[in-house]
Each structure stands twice: as C-alpha cells, then as structure tokens.
Amino acid sequence: MAAPHTVLLLLLPLLALPPRAGGELRAFVVAHSHMDVGWVYTVQESMHAYAANVYTTVIEELMKGKQRKFIAVEQEFFRLWWDSVATDTQKQQVHQLLQEGRLEFVIGGQVMHDEAVTLIDDQILQLTEGHGFLYETFGSRPQFSWHVDPFGASATTPTLFALAGFNAHLISRIDYDLKDGMQKNKKLQFVWQGSPSLSARQEIFTHVMDQYSYCTPSQLPFSNRSGFFWNGLATFPDPPKDGVYPNMSLPVTDANLHLYAQTMVANIKERAAWFRTGEVLWPWGCDKQFFNASVQYSNMDLLVDYINKHSAEFGVTVQYATVSDYFQAIYSRNLTWEIRDSQDFLPYSTEEEGQNCFFKVQQLSDYSCIIDHFQSLVLTIIILTAKVQHHDGITGTESPKVKDMYMNNLMYGMLNVKKLMASIIFDINNAKKNGEVYSSVYTTGSGKPGATDVDQYVVVYNPLAWNITTFVTVSVSNEEMSVYDELGQSVPAQVQSSVESQSTYDLYILVTISGLSYRKYSIKPQDGKQSAFIGSSVKYKRRDLTRADQQSRQLFPVVNNCYQIVFDQNTNLMHSITVRETNQTVQFTQEFLEYHVNGDTKKGPISDNYIFAPNASAVPVSKAVGLEVMSGSLMTEIRQYFYSNVTSQDYIYAVFTRLYSVPEGYDEKLLCHRIEQEYSVGPLELNREAVLRTSTNLNTRQLLYTDNNGYQMQKRPFKAYVNNTVARNYYPMVQTAYIEDDNTRLMLLAERAHGVSSQGNGQVEVMLHRRIWNNLQWNLNNNLTLNDSSVVRPVIWLILGTKAVTNTLYRTSGLALEHRPVVMFGALSGKQKQGDADFSRVLLRIRHLYEVGEDPVLSQPVMVDLKSLLQGLGSVVTVEERSLTGTWDVNTLERWRWKTTQYPGKSSELMNFADRILVLDVCLMCEASLTTEGVLSRDQELTHPVT
C-alpha cells in the first residue's frame, strides 16, 4: 500500500547535484510489484484485475532477456498463480529462473505481516507456511527481507528473520523526523541487535529505505505523466479491453531517451548522497505494477543500455538486480557498521503535521490443531489465518469489503477447527443428532452458547502446555444448576444474572485441566444435590459526578485473598486497590474519555484509518455512573455503567470488573492475582476516539513500557514534540503494558492489540474504539473511512504488586489470556473418541518466556526432557535442530557476519546459530526408546506439533 498522504518531492536537475567523490556510482535496479493481500480490493479481485498477469508476463519477459531480473515477495498471489494459472512450461521456467538467480523470493512469507500489532506466534506461522511451500516446491530458502510497507518497524522482526537464516533486513516506514536525520548523517544502514537476550548472536544488517521508499519516483520534469510506470495503473474490476491503462508513462524514444536518463541519474545521485557506499538500491515498481512486464522491460532496457554507454558522462552504471545482488555488493565492501540495540521504530509518524499512524485492530482468532487425515483442511486454515496478518489486514486499514473477506475466511476457519476438535473428542456417529456438536461448539472469544434446559456436556480443552486452573462461562436458562466432572464429583460453580440478557444466566465453572488436554463436565438442573452457588445482586443509586461530594466519601471494599478493591458510593467509581500481601495501597481511578478529531480537510489535519490526529486533549464523556455488585463465593463482579447525564436511558460505556476467590485445594496463583475487566464501548458519535484512562498515585515519571509482539518489552519515555505530541506518544500494546514506581508495578494484559499511552504521571490510557469519517478524496475514492458504529467488548487483565511478584505472573498470565480454554458443549450421548494421531515426525518449537536479566530466577536456562514431553506421541529416535521456519539444518546454515563497531575484526567470519528460540525436527517411533534433553536460555513456548 502506497502512503495515502505522501508528499511527492520534485526531482532535482542533474546539474544541481555535485559529483560524488570516490568514483562511479553503481545503481541496482530492483524490479518488483507491491501486491497487497487485501487493502482496497479483495484477493480475488486483485488476481483478476492484475496479480495473475504480473507473474505470467514477468516470467515471459525474464526468459527473453538474460540481463533482466525480478523479486517476488508475498506468497499469497504467487501460490494462487502457481496452483490455478501457471502452465507446465511456465513452472519449468520458474525453476530455471530461480536456478539462474534472475527470479528471487524475498521474505517468503504468505504475506508481508504487520509489525506493530501482530503476535510473534502468528508472525512465525505465516512465515513458516510460506517458507515451507518454497522449500518443498523449489528447494528455495529466502535469505533477505523486503519489509517495505508495514507501519513502523518492531525489534521482533529482525530477530525472527535472523533466526530464519536471513543475511540482511530491509525496512522503510519509520518516523519521518528520524528518517530525515538518518539520511542527512548517512546512518540508514546499521547492524540491528533486535533481541536484548540474543544481541550479537542473532544480529542482522538492516537497510532503511530513503524518503522515496519502495516506489520509483513518480514525477518527470519533462512530462505530466508518471515516471517509469510504462504499463500505467491497474484498473478494476477488469483490465481495459484495448490494453490502454491510465497514466502510462511516455514510451522511451530517441527524442526523450536522454531526458529519461538525466532524470534517473539525478535520482540515483540524490539517493547516493544518503548512503556510505557507491552502491545505490533503486527500487523499480510500486503498488500493482508489472501487470504488463513487456512494456516495462522493453522501455527500461533502452534506458539501462543508454546510461551504461554514457557512464563516463553520467558517472553512473546501471544493472538489473535482485535484493541479494545489492546486499552482496555491500557485504563485499567489508565496512564497519554501527550497532543499533533492541529499540524499535515505533510509533510511525508520516508528516510534518505530526500525524501518527494508528490502527483499529480487528478481533481475530486463530487456531492450529493437526491430525493426519485432516491435513488438507488444516493447511487451508493456516493459510487463511496467515493472510490476516497482512499489514492492511489485522490493522483495520482495509476497505469494508476486504474486512468482510478476512472475517469470512476466519469464520470458515473457526468453524472447521471446531468441527475438527469435536470429531477428535466425540464419537459423532453415536450422537443423538449428527452435526449437533458442531452447532454447539464455541470458544470464550466468540460468545457464549445459547441457553438450554436439557442436560449438557461441556468439554473444555486447554491449548496451553501447562496445567491451568480457571473459570469458563456457559449461558443457562435456570439459576438452579449443578455441575459434575467425569467421575460424578461436584465441581465448584457460580451462577448469576447475565449482563447480556435478562432471560438467561451466566454459569461460571471452575476447571482444572492438564496441558494440551481436555475434560468433560455435565451441567444439570438442580437435583437435590449440591448446586452451583447463586450470586446475589446489590444495586446502587446512579450518581451525578458533577455534584459528587469529594470531601465526604462513602467507601466499601471488595476483597479476595490477593486484593482489596475499594469503591466510592458517592461517585460509584473505583477509589483504591490494596495489595494484601504487602499491605500496599495504590490510589486508583478509572474514567472514559474521548478525543475529538477533525473530519474536514479544509479545517486542518484529519484522523482516518491510518492516522490519529486529535484536536486537543481527551475530554470526559460521562456525567453519571450506575453501579451493581454481584457477590458470590467464587467471584464478585462489579458492573459500572457510564451515562452522558443522570437522566440518560442508555449507556455507551460500561466496565465489568471480576475478582475471583478460589476454594482450598485449587491453585489460585493466577486467578487470585488478576483483576479481570471487560469493557463495553459504543456506538460512538462520529469522529470520536474512545479511551479508558487509569490514574494512580504511582510516581512513574510518565514512563511507560509496552511489548513488541508479545515477545519483548520496550521502554517508552514521554516525549514532547512541536506537532501532535499526544498521538506521537501512543504505542502499540499487543499483549502487555505497564507503569511502575520504585516499588510497585501496574500491569495490563490484553487479548487483542490496542494503542496505549501515558499522558500524565501515574497514568496509563488504552484506546478501545474509534469511529471516524472524513472528506479526504483519497479515502472516499477507496472507501477507506472508518465509520464504525459497532459495540466492542475488549478484555484486559490487571495485575498490581511488587516488581518481583508481577514478573512471575505476567508472562504465563498473558499467554493464558491469549489462549483461553476452548469450550465445546451440546446435549450428547455416546462415548468419547480416542485420539488417533499418528505422528512420526514433528516440528517442535520451544521458547523461553523471559529475557536475560529480566528475573533472577525465571531468566535462568531451562532443561527440557524431550522423552517425557513427547511420550504421548511415541519414543524419540532422532532430534535435529532447525532454523525458525524449519527449512535449514542449523549445522549447515552459515549466515553472513557483518563487521561492527562492537566486533571490528570479525568481518570475514560466518555467523552460526547460538542461543535462541529452539526449533527441533523430531522423529518418533513407538518401539524405540531414547532420552534426549535440550537446554534453553531464551524463549520457551511449546507450540502444537506440526507434521
């Protein structure tokens, strides 16, 4: 996706540029087409309009000229072309071009994933899927990135690419002020140590594209048409029948050949001034280009030949190139490069007005479960999930019809995963009604099942690799219910009136389940035996905040074994939280606010899908608060309703805070220490951006910490800017954020990505919802406004305590929130079906949860006994360590080692794998027996086995 608000810069005349000292410049012309997997048009529309023609015509033209080259980036469109369009001859030609190095796959993932709001697991999944296809089909293993369009750059991505075996990394979209300074000081290239734990062991050379980014300069000083886009612009829904596309560049002729050459050379020299060497990366292409590669190459051939014949005059030589050609030339220079530490390039700001790219993140769910005879189904689900990680997918910057495409794909995937899981657990042939189990399957992230009066079986699956004790929720039509486990033993449960429906009740069941296992529970109407505890309700009078007496407080506590939360009856707001273990009390208040934003381009900067540009500070939106407390033996739920005034009938905002009490004999560590909050926000008024601000008396010095992709933490000091300080201090929270003082830390754990900021000392605010409309013609033409009138229900868990205590809790708690139990229910009969997986080979990925030095105990190396871990699948026969995506044996993988200021004398050495995420290719046999152990010092997380 090209930048929606890019200011095009005029090319400088050739004579205005001084000659470069040190001899002739060497320009590497990298032909490419940026093909968004979504954005304005659906994948199907793009394939029909242009994408299929890109590969058909490029392959044809590459075969006509040995000097011609091309790079292919995302696999989504290529795989569709390969599977449904390419002929046998074209497939043979692709193999030949790859062998000759004239066609190169870079990145190689299914998509070019977003870096700000995606989880590390999903990044690895989509990258592994694409790499697996390339390796199995061509024996090809990408070694360079081309991450030119994601909105900002995370420090996780260079780490993953290094672990996947890449030799160099290329990015583009970073803060405009920062890029400007790096250009002026020739610091757009460096060695990035993305992980503070891995540091030099998994560093990677990184190239930041200059201000022209990945597109060819589009203005010609001698023409009013675009430059170097001889095939013009793609048209939708159909290619033009006459073959004449809009805005086709002037064909190269004898009359304009020298003018074209002057323009290209001027741009090459301008770019060369921003880099240390005489090698210049010159991207040739942009969005939706090369759908007619014949006209592209036939014109560029003339230009390349002309410049090279007059290289003495121009001081430049030009060659078609791949990304590897360019980086090989830089590497052979054997220069010493500066090191960048694990700091990321977020947030992303694009213009002098200081507008900050910000995203409305869709709530998207993905599942991965493998069984042999469902392999084709699972592959489809993985591809659908991978597609959503696209930088115009999960970010919410796509058009409505593309959003519908993503959501339909995910709903299809979710439904089929539920069918798959149900078929594993249940013998559906003996069910009373075939298909009944499917219609009843649900997850906690997709709503509760409909209430029923009949006896129900509830099957709860734990997707985590460790034992859990938690609550699951089921809707029932009767408050007098009993719950039993497989042995007929009574299970602790609590039932209470539902927030969502006056005719149903919410049944909270306390479950304890081993890792990667499931248990079955039966729910029955009360039969005289022990029943679920019935929660009682106390409703408090709605309070007018404008008339609340701040001097005279009426406080009441809500208590469990870990916290005492105090509310003020004068305002119905939270007043303070006491950590019972240390008796530390923190003043604690929460309020909803809205940023008012402009939608009229004539009145100043606007907010839209991409940009957050508030007019001023956020303003409170509620003048009255209602309160209801549901109390029970297992849980207390505080329901707060926020109204625009005392007489309002409907609320736009609500908070449902849950505090759990766990009976003796159950593990209460995680449950007791989390304050669970669910919010209801919307529908908003137009051009409003809604936040929840939490204010404390912690002396945080306005310092915020947020995570990169659920992988590592980043320090976010508040910075003052000339323009748009509020927005430029918003950062992505994919899973975790926290504020702290010298003694106490407040952690926020999220089940979806949010924007988060600290706009004041002791404060943290979370962006929960946006409703935007504007009259920018570009947005209107592409239907990229965000007039979202929905109601959202995000969940955030709060953990308050000492740094030591919160450290022990937040990693496992974050994963527990991300991977909540999957609940399947139905009125079923028949026996459980035994799992019949037949794994002979699995790819096992293990990740240490803690950074080096993050915790004195939890950061220590961990011993993993593979024999014990995999005993349910068979006996371990052989173990081979692999690269991140499984395509390299690490014993044969040798990465380039770039000379750095830290290690200036090691430029000639090749870099071998060391301390990292551990990826193992494990072969198993039932009759074999072998004890194998692995040692980790960074990165543990057991993923589902993959064949």
Cβ neighbours, 10 Å, residue 921: 15
CA-CA distance, 274 to 9, in Å (whole number)? 16
**8 Å CB contact between 167 and 143:** yes
Helix then strand then coil, in percent of the chain rounded to 5, is 25, 30, 45
- According to DSSP, the residues that pair with 104 across neighbouring strands are 71
Q: Which amino acid is at 655?
A: V
Contact 386, 128 (CB under 8 A): no
For 403: left if phi > 0, alpha if psi spans -120 to 50, otherwise beta; the answer is alpha
From residue 66, give the alpha-carbon distance in Å to each of 62, 101, 205, 300: 7, 10, 29, 14
Catalytic entry in 149, 366, 506, 608: 149
Give the number of C-alpha atoms closer than 13 A to the C-alpha of residue 549, restricted to the C-beta side.
7
Q: What angle do CA 878, 884, 888 make, to 5 degrees?
A: 60
As a whole number of angstroms, the distance between CA 781 and CA 786 comes to 13
Cα distance between residue 287 and residue 229, in whole Å: 11
State the Cα–Cα distance between residues 737 and 745, nearest whole angstrom: 10
**Measured between alpha carbons, how far is 476 from 506 in angstroms, rounded to an integer?**
6
Handedness of CA 133, 137, 140, 146 (dihedral sign): negative
Structure tokens at 943: 């993923």
Q: What's the one-letter identity of residue 585?
A: T
* CA 442 to mean position of chain CA atoms: 24
517: buried, middle or exposed (CB in 10 Å: 19+, 13-18, 0-12)? middle
Q: Which residues contact 365 (CB under 8 A, 6 or more apart)?
A: 410, 414, 443, 445, 446
**CA–CA distance, 802 with 579 (Å, rounded to integer):** 9
Q: How far apart are CA 76 and CA 36, in angstroms?
A: 9
Handedness of CA 194, 115, 73, 110 (dihedral sign): positive
Distance (Å, rounded) from C-alpha 849 to C-alpha 530?
41
Q: What is the number of alpha carbons within 13 Å of residue 885 lying toward its C-beta?
A: 31
Nearest to 861 by CA among 871, 846, 876: 846
Rounded (10°) CA dihedral 179, 181, 187, 192:
-50
Are residues 671 and 817 in contact, defined by beta-carbon separation less than 8 angstroms? Answer: no
Question: What are the C-alpha distances in Å from 205 to residues 120, 192, 258, 895, 900?
Answer: 21, 6, 36, 11, 10
Long-range contact set of residues 240-247: C-beta below 8 Å, sequence gap at least 24: 243/292, 245/292
C-alpha span between 747 and 700 (Å, rounded): 13
The answer to whether residues 853 and 859 touch, using CB atoms and an 8 Å cutoff, is yes
- Asked whether 512 and 528 are in contact (CB, 8 A), the reply is no
CA-to-CA distance for 733 and 458, rounded, in angstroms? 33
149 is a catalytic site residue = yes
d(CA 383, CA 372): 17
Residue type, 146: W
Catalytically active residues, by annotation: 149
